[in-house]
Amino acid sequence: FYAVQTLYQLLPVEIYGKDLSRQVCWEIPAVDIEDSPRFAYRGVLLDVSRHFMPIDFIKQFIDVMAMYKLNRLQWHLTDDQGWRIEIKKYPRLVEIGSVRKETMVGRDATKFDGEEHKGYYTQEEAKDIVRYAAERGITIIPEIEMPGHAMAALASYPELSCGLEDTYEVGRTWGVYTQVYCPKETTFQFLEDVFLELFPIFPSEYYHIGGDECPKDSWKKCTH
């Protein structure tokens, strides 16, 4: 597969076009090629949580990855600003968590665009994307953020929080939120259920669980 990508790169850019029905004579120069990867893991991250990306875009993104012989796509599916993957046992994750009513403009937390931002992927759509990537030598590593960056999940299921806020909403601003998953049995059961639904979809050896930027404010006040 990678050898074919190298041959493509020796041809005119038209080789990537949709219509190859015309009879065209292309020549490849006589060359010696020495090509082996320095790194076995050649990855990029695509954040669809903060800004939802349509399936056609993701497949185009995968095509470009394959062209450059990248082989790992870290798919950032959840964050404060949106939950983007269907979990059938917890339907509110996409009914509520995939929708934010507006988005902060630039770096000014007092200005918002007033436009609803939403979108999520069904499990069947995710399977299709995983298959499409695998055909191009790319493994998709799903990222499910925890214990911080969880506002979209808490807005959907407030019982996963420490219960110190009156209400929770999908994040409209950027930055770090103090509202995080509460370390209690309900939360661990929720996360186990989520991953049990994801395992058949994403056969990757690795999953990314975030782990960054988790303020302990609520934990210090919580009996759990």
Contact 89, 195 (CB under 8 A): no
Cα-to-chain-centroid distance, residue 216: 25
Instruction: List all residues 6 or more positions away from 196 whose beta carbon is below 8 Å from its beta carbon.
Output: none
- Residues recognised as catalytic: 79, 149, 213
State the Cα–Cα distance between residues 167 and 107, nearest whole angstrom.
24
